[in-house]
Structure 1
Amino acid sequence: HGNLFGAIDFYQCAKAAGIKPIIGCEAYITSGSYKEKPSRESTFHFTLLAENETGYRNLVKLISAAHLDGFYYRPRIDKNLLASHADGLIGLSGCLASEINSALQSGNVEKAQNLTAEYRDIFGPRNFFIELHDHGMAEQKQCNAHLPKFAREFGLGLVAANDVHFLRRSDHRAHDVLLCINTATKIEDEQRMRYEPELYFKSPAEMREIFRDFPEAITNTLEIADRCNLEIEFGKSKYPEYPVPAGKTREGYLRELCYKGLHERYGDRAANDQELITRLDYEVDVLEKTGFVSYLLIVWDFIHFAKEREIPVGPGRGSAAGSIVAYVLGITDIDPLQYGLIFERFLNPERISPPDIDVDFCEARRGEVLEYVRQKYGERRVAQIITFGRLKARSVVRDVARVMGLSVRDGDRIAKMIPNELNITLNSAVERNPELKRAVATEPLTKQLMEYATALEGLSRSAGVHAAGVVISDRDLSEYVPLCRDVKGNDIVSQYSMNPLNDLGLLKMDFLGLKTLTMIEDTVTLIRRNVPGFSLKNIPLDDVAAFGLYNRGETIGLFQMESGGITSVSKQFDVRKLDDIIALIALYRPGPMELIGDYIKRKKGLTKIRYEHPLLEEICADTYGVMIYQEQVMAAASKLAGYSMGQADLLRRAMGKKDKEKMAKERANFIAGCAR
């Protein structure tokens, strides 16, 4: 109702399954002006379907306006707004909560007729249909006694419809539980919201039987489906063009900034170190060929703004640290050559996909950078990004237990039987925990709870705002995506989440507010009271006393080093240099974690260092023969199998995503490369 949150996910899934997607929305329409705040009773339901791209764009505009300008309890449009954006849209008169049916239920047939004429005039008789519902409700029979007459009187088509709130009739009970979760009630409560069991996705045969007296209403569903032919464009860049100084091109300006930064970072080496110059020219060439020059300039610009105003900025993380362009522009503070970082992890010329630069800002001043970006590119061209909270394994069990009337203790008992692992599912939890499996088999209430919970697991529970995500466009975002506001009604937020925005070719960035940077800045301020010239840049990276903190496990307050598990590993690690800390953090994550014991033994000389192949010694010598970095995977593929760095990045991605099909393909390529 009233939003397009899942439209792109639905569109892509339908296309992948060979099904024609029809994009629409059951909008809220008010009888007055959508900008006024009348009684809630003057808001009604109305069905809108996008016939083509024009209709989709108008639908996006309508739903955005409803949220940004017409929100009063619900996101509302009005007839004037609808009339100005009716092109390419097909309108259906709506369910029992529609304006026409509400008039009929109150006995005002004349008003219902006038409303029918009004909607016909907005859409034209070919694009407005009278919607028939029949779930066996008396109110629907009352309305259906008049609606076919209206269709004949005004020259409109009838269309058979069915409110769909769950997929199968058998899902009714699970959906009832979901209603209770969303309305904070219990199944046993008598005075609560309930839906009819008929609100499931009916088959064509069932619909034909229900509407056997109106065969044209069934035929018209096919006509509408045939008419709706929306092709959404994916992948084409909608990035804003960075405004460069007069008389300069973006490409020329990027090179100018890069060479200036190269001299600032490397001094005399910048003039005669061919490795530096070759690497920089290669990266800039790739950026120009792939069309991401503006992207780098945009990121450089807002980071430059932050640093000029002494807003703490993180040194960089993720794949961007592999780019010398990012380093010389001051986007990152990590020399990729010193640490053997690979540019193709950031931007692979053999599989072009948007680069991704995550930027950490001081939590207290992140808002200043966001506001700068809004002012630079336009308020309506910049928005934060929506996220959806899901009903996950443990939380859905607790929620279902509550609505079933179980005690908090009983719900907690079952929830705690689920292993505390990221992305674990209820089915896998039952298989992995014998105690939970036994409870499901022997306790009828637990079995019922798990059946409901499994049916609801993974569904969206709530909408929120991404902690860091920001989307920037080359024009008003509502030209491309529907918008809404955050829960406080202030900031503008996209109705599409990260992945759909990326697929649509929009520029998304992570502006993360990091408390650690705020703490560091506050600490530096205190130090400067006694040491006025103090700078973080002057702290030596080989300080023995600092390494001692790690070896004693005194890491409270250190970013990524505070958990009990990593503190325990730190005390065993014998930290002697910065590279040891890098290895420690890289090892302490799912996957490499199982190598920690062997790594420590090799490091301390308790186990002989072995290499799986002599050619790997050069790649893995610094990590005692243990492969722990993704760059090592790429380097090994290049050294052993002759992969280009672009090909090696594709192998790395397949491994990271555990894509069995791609891994099997890469295995064949790898073996063939090694044989050569």
Structure 2
Amino acid sequence: MSASIPHVVATAAPATPDAALPGGALGTGFSHLHLHTEYSLLDGGNRVDKLIARVKELGMTSVGITDHGNMFGAVAFYLACKDKGIKPILGVEAYVAPGDRKDRTYTGVSDGGYHLVLLAQNRAGWENLLHLCSEAYLTGFYFKPRIDRELLARRSEGLIAINGHLGSEIGEHLLIYEQTGDPKRWEQALESAQWHARTFSNGPGAGNGALPRFYLEMQHHIREQNSINKHIIRMSKELGLPIVCDNDSHFLKSEDHDAHDTLVCISMGKVKNDENRLRYPQELYVKGPQEMRELFEREYGQIGREACDNTIRIADACNVELPLGVSNSPMVRIEVPSAASLPRHDDPAFGGDLTAWYKAYCSKFELRPFAKQPTPEELIEAKEQCDQALRMLAVGGFVWRYGPDAGSTALGSPAVPAGLASGGPAVPAGLREGDSNLKPRSITASEPAGSAGPPKGTISQLLPNRMESFRSRPLPLVGFVARNPYPDGELGPALDLILTQRDLPHLELPLATYFVSWRTQPGRILCADDCSSVLSALRHFDNERCRVYAACVMPDHVHWIVRPHEGVSLAELVTSVKQFSARAYNKEHQTKGSLWESEHFDHIVRDENWFAKYLWYVVDNPVESNLIEPGATYPWTFVHPDVVGDLPGVPEHAADRSIPEEAAPPKTDGDRRATQEADVRRARLERELKILADKNISAYFLIVWDFVNWGRQRGIPAIARGSGVGTMVGYTLGLSNACPVKYGLLFERFTDPDRSEYPDIDIDLCQDGRGSVINYVREKYGHVAQIITFGTLKARAAIKDVSRVLELPLAEADMLAKKIPETLNITLDEALEAEPDLKKLYDTRPDIKRVFDTARTLEGQARHASVHAAGVIVATRPLSEIVPLYKQSGAAENEIVTQWDGPTCEKMGLLKMDFLGLRTLSIIERCKVLIQEGLDEREIWNAVGRVAEYDARSQGIQKPRSDEGTKPRRAEVDDEGSAFSPLRGSVASPPPSLPLSLPLVHPLDLERLTFDD
């Protein structure tokens, strides 16, 4: 029977024989498009890294991955190919149900569905593969993860289909036709080919030059497949369909066949000598281009040559670039409460209890997931809301953690760290105004005593408008003086000059004021504690040897405005500061060598206008360097309060004088340290909030905060662990209880602006309540999945599995496995070197050597898929648009898992949350309940006789002496109010392992531990 199919091209697009394509030159090259890696679990034997190396060695420039029904290894394969300069062809060998994929009726079809190779041409094809593989597990699983024709017809865009080998629908019909001659089977094969050709047609607008998207498949390695290839060729001619050849490679080299055969036995629970088991042909290895071309050209002539060329054309047509690094972090809506609706911490209703106040404060914030797919505009709005809400919650938490006066600033509230209100409400209503202490390091303007009302802002905002031009042209460090301050060449009396020679000439004048800068050595970057130490060094000689007007410590350089006292040279001051700070740095970091470059740059401040310019530069440098937002406080900037009012055009109240000088208490070293710590905490919180907003993970923090609070409200303990504990935001939200500033915890361990990968927060949860918390997140946010993990054949497991397959006696297999040292992650090669007895067996026993060598080949290979103990992914849009999904057989409807492991999900822009079930927390919670029970309850004392507690299990404690004939009576309470005092002595006397039959041991009288009826 012949049939015509619309929009199907009989041959591939014309190409010259020597055309250079990614798979190689037409006529000589070849690309494997049907290939299985180790992620075809216990069926494929190709390790991704070794596969790519072999492909490159064989001279091929592209290769495909088509694992059975899954995309477990797609991203790892993609990255490995890109790393080695090989073009990755991403695909899957799908299972297609003969009818409705949701129908679980047995049809007799092997594996529950027909095999169909699908390859992604472009991004649309990639996204359709994600959806198809997800639906196969979630809605079509029956023996295998299955799709159906209906789903395939809807999701065929951007995909190339290959059909015809023995496991396919066409291949099954043709094999029966070959064996029986039944014409109905030929008709069914034709119908299947026509349906696939229509489904994967290019459409009327594609043009005659478009590459076909459906191919008939030929393989040549076993008798049954070889017998149907003539029918494949006939069908190709009748329907005008192109043919492609492949090798269905399952292992790397021909010599790997025996190890792969063992792997298949492990999978099926068979032994090698079982004659009735499945056996793969030895030809299913990764062959080179020449070997494949010689085979198919020898067997099929020009058709075989064209089939090989089509592998190169298909490889050329498949161009998928994975969206690595694109953020798929979750986004939620949150109603940001108005300032008036927030409770005040000084409300008498809270009685000064900041914890009660903060709980009420937090209750005003409610996270809501999107009911439908949000628009880009809605996502932008939601991000702004999340950034604002996180800021407000962190500010409130700052007050809760450090007290109402901890955040005293010029923003009208003693509780808001300077700059924290930027981008959100200026002051949350729950944060009242109040007095503040004089803080010389603060550069924030505040109201002087008796003032009618000061302008708000920082010194840089209060400088004259004419200074704004400096923002557009940052002042250079060298050659800053624009004109010669002594145009006549008169330097003044010679005795008034001190000229020192270094790498550059430095001019010093008595009682002159200098703007000085110097840098750290290359590679030396100052952390927060270092900056504080250097700033202390810069201020150390103030009043004693100089007047320090201003200073700023940046991560790799410093600026200093200073006037040495009479008789003190600038060079001496700079040297002293450098030495003082370098010693502190080396001691802290346990290093040696110079911290600072030897040279420094200094400029004489000629007049008040230049002083204002230099001061502007010092104050504004952190803003220009994008370390802080305009208006925020940089904690390592110092401006002396006495100098600001003296500047022309600068208001007198620009110095922080909230308390009159005569009323301010004298400063102590403790006051100064407290002020510095408060400044550091404020700056730390501001910096973290900015980074979290920039990296688009404010919503992620809010989701964690939400489910932690939900669990705690229901008696489920939850606390952060790991890198998340090092965040000031996490501390102020109550996710952890360790102040990161106090304990020197680094935010950079969690994340920083230069890291492309996304962070995650590990949360310890009571084991008993962990499932409830996960269900809450799943039900509330919808697009939630747990994370897959892959068990591998470790050294001992490999020995045991291979021993069973090779029928090594059980006792010997157990002995062999026990000789593997219990060192974590030890390999079989390492075990052989570390254990002489094992090496002796290996050298003298051929059967054990075979077991060992085979196990060594399979060691480390993925064996099974399971669910990660803690990892959970949350997203804003359907996860199947981002990651293929998986569900274990027998799992509940909503227990969905990603097909990629945690690190892979993170590479694809998904944020992972770890819900760690900690039994310790469960035990503590149970103890808290048991503590409330009375000690004289009969059930408690009865338990002493039943529970296998080590210290109370000897006969001397478990049984009273029978010869006493005592009646049980209620336990006595001793003078300390404890009924357990008698038990203390009992436990202390007879060791549990000491038999009572020994004459040295006599049971204690346990009358006092018994009960009356």
Partner residue of 2:704 out of 299, 308, 312: 299
Which whole-Å CA distance do the structure 2 matches of 1:346 and 1:141 have between them?
58
Gaps of 5+ in 1: 532-552, 555-676
Equivalent positions of 1:543-558 (< 5 A) are none
Counterpart of 2:72? 5
How far is the alpha carbon of 1:262 from its aligned partner? 1.5
Q: Which residue of 2 aligns with 1:252?
A: 388
Q: Is the 8 A contact 2:329 2:696 kept in 1?
A: no
Question: CA, structure 1 residues 351+492, in 2 after alignment: closer, same or farther (shift >3 Å)?
Answer: closer
Name the structure 2 match of 1:618: none
User: What's the TM-score once normalised by structure 1's chain length?
Assistant: 0.76
**Residue 346 (structure 1) shift:** 1.6
Q: Counterparts of 1:265 and 1:310 in 2: how far apart (Å)? A: 22
Aligned to 1:505: 909
Secondary structure, aligned partner of 1:47: strand
Among 158, 161, 172, the residue aligned to 2:243 = 158
Cα separation, 1, equivalents of 2:705 and 2:168: 51
CA distance in 2, matches of 1:294, 1:114: 52
Q: What SS does the aligned partner of 1:23 have?
A: strand
SS of corresponding position for 1:383: strand
Deviations 1:120-178 (A, max 9, x none): 1111171100000110x232132111111111211211101112111111011101111
User: What residue is the counterpart of 1:127 in the other structure?
Assistant: 213
Which of 78, 82, 100 does residue 33 from structure 1 map onto? 100
Aligned to 2:226: 141
Asked whether the equivalents of residues 362 and 514 of structure 1 are also in contact (C-alpha less than 8 Å), the reply is yes
Q: Specify which of 296, 299, 302 is matched with residue 211 of structure 1.
A: 296
| Aligned-partner SS, 1:181 | helix
**Alignment match, 1:522:** 926
Structure 2 counterpart SS, 1:298 = helix
2:193 & 2:690 partners in 1: Cα distance?
61
Structure 2 vs 1, CA of residues 140 and 30 (structure 1 numbering), >3 Å: closer, same or farther?
same
Residues 1:275 and 2:352 are matched in the alignment? no
Residue of structure 1 aligned with 2:856, choices 454, 470, 475: 454
Task: Verify: 1:486 aligned to 2:880, yes or no.
Answer: no
Q: In the alignment, residue 402 of structure 2 is paired with which amino acid? A: Y
Which of 145, 168, 177 is equivalent to 1:75?
A: 145
- CA shift at 1:34, angstroms? 1.2
Deviation at 1:353, TM superposition (A): 3.1
Specify the alignment match of 1:312 in structure 2.
Answer: 717
TM-score (structure 2 length as normaliser): 0.51
Q: Which residue of 2 aligns with 1:224?
A: 314
One of 130, 137, 143 as aligned partner of 1:60? 130
1:48 paired residue number: 118
* CA shift for structure 1 position 391: 0.3
| Cα contact 1:290–1:352 (8 A) shared by 2 | no
Q: Is the aligned partner of 1:102 residue 2:172?
A: yes
Q: Tell me the residue number matched to 1:24.
A: 91
| 1:235 alignment partner, SS class | coil
Q: How far, CA to CA, are the matches of 1:275 and 1:266 in structure 2?
A: 13
- The answer on whether the counterparts of 2:760 and 2:911 sit within 8 Å (CA) in structure 1 is no
- Aligned-pair distance for 1:489? 2.9
Rounded Cα–Cα distance in structure 2 between residues aligned with 1:334 and 1:95: 62
Name the SS of the counterpart of 1:21 in structure 2: strand
Offset at residue 270 of structure 1 (A): 2.3
Contact 1:47 1:94 survives alignment (8 Å): no
Q: C-alpha distance in 2, partners of 1:99/1:283?
A: 57
- Secondary structure class of the residue paired with 2:118: strand
Partner secondary structure for residue 334 of structure 2:
coil
- 1:233 aligned to 2:233? no
The answer (yes or no) to whether the contact 1:24–1:49 under 8 Å persists in 2 is: yes
Query: Secondary structure of 1:359's partner?
Result: strand
**CA distance in 1 between partners of 2:679 and 2:145 (Å):** 60
The CA RMSD over aligned residues, in Å, is 1.9
1:351 matched to which residue of 2? 755
More helix by share: 1
Q: Does 1:393 align with 2:470?
A: no
Deviation for aligned residue 1:432? 2.5
1:354-369 correspondence runs (5 A):
354-369=758-773
CA apart distance, 1:268: 4.3
Amino acid in structure 1 at the alignment position of 2:325: G
Q: What is the Cα deviation at residue 521 of structure 1?
A: 0.7
Report the counterpart of residue 87 of structure 1 in structure 2: 157
CA contact 1:40–1:73 (8 Å) conserved in 2: no
Structure 1 residue 530, shift from structure 2 partner: 5.7
Flag structure 2 segments of 5+ consecutive residues without an equivalent: 1-67, 178-184, 203-211, 338-383, 409-677, 936-949, 952-1013
1:431 partnered with 2:431: no
**Cα distance in 1 for residues equivalent to 2:756 and 2:793:** 34
Letter in 1 for 2:745: L
1:328 aligns with 2:328: no
Describe the superposition over 1:530-558 as per-residue Cα deviations: whole angstroms up to 9, x where unpaired: 69xxxxxxxxxxxxxxxxxxxxx99xxxx
SS at match of 2:923: helix
Deviations 1:591-624 (A, max 9, x none): xxxxxxxxxxxxxxxxxxxxxxxxxxxxxxxxxx
SS in 2 for 1:351: coil
Does residue 1:473 correspond to 2:881, yes or no?
A: no
Q: State whether residues 51 and 90 of structure 1, in contact with CA within 8 Å, keep that contact through their aligned partners in structure 2.
A: yes
After superposition, the Cα gap between the structure-2 partners of 1:35 and 1:487, relative to the gap in structure 1 and judged at 3 Å, is closer
Q: Distance in 1 between matches of 2:97 and 2:328?
A: 34
Q: What secondary structure sits across from 2:100 in the alignment?
A: coil
- The Cα of 1:460 is off from its aligned counterpart by 0.6
CA-CA distance at 1:278 after TM superposition: 2.5
Separation (CA, whole Å) in 2 of partners of 1:332 and 1:354: 20
Q: SS in structure 2 opposite 1:74?
A: coil
Does residue 383 (structure 1) correspond to residue 785 (structure 2)? The answer is yes
Q: Which amino acid is the alignment partner of residue 11 of structure 1? A: Y
Q: Which amino acid aligns with 2:96?
A: I
Q: 1:269 to 1:487 in 2, by over 3 A?
A: farther
Name the residue aligned to 2:813: 411
Of the candidates 148, 168, 176, which is equivalent to residue 261 of structure 2? 176
Amino acid at match of 2:828: L
Please state whether the residue corresponding to 1:271 is helix, strand or coil: coil
- Give the superposition deviation at 1:439: 2.1
- Range moving further from structure 2, 521-530 or 447-456: 521-530
Comparing 287-296 with 59-68, greater Cα deviation is found at 287-296
Task: Supply the AA of the counterpart residue of 1:202.
Answer: K
Aligned length, in residue pairs: 529
1:243 aligns with 2:320: no
Q: Which amino acid in the other structure matches residue 213 of structure 2?
A: N
**Counterpart code for 1:130:** L
- The 3-state SS of whatever aligns with 2:88 is coil
Distance 1:66 1:110 in 2: 28
Match of 1:540 in 2: none
Mapped partners of 1:290, 1:530: distance in 2:
53
- SS for the counterpart of 2:145 is strand
Larger CA deviation: 368-377 vs 22-31: 368-377
SS in 2 for 1:92: strand
Aligned equivalents of 1:139 and 1:420: distance in 2? 48
Q: In 2, are the aligned partners of 1:270 and 1:276 still within 8 Å (CA)?
A: no
Q: Offset of 1:420 from its aligned partner?
A: 1.3
**Cα offset for 1:352?**
4.5
Query: Quick one: which of 185, 188, 195 aligns to 1:111?
Result: 188
Give a deviation string over 1:79-109, Cα, whole Å, max 9, x none: 1211110000000014201111111111121
Looking at structure 2, the residues matched to 83 and 309 of structure 1 have their Cα atoms a distance apart, in angstroms, of 47
Per-residue deviation at 1:431? 2.2
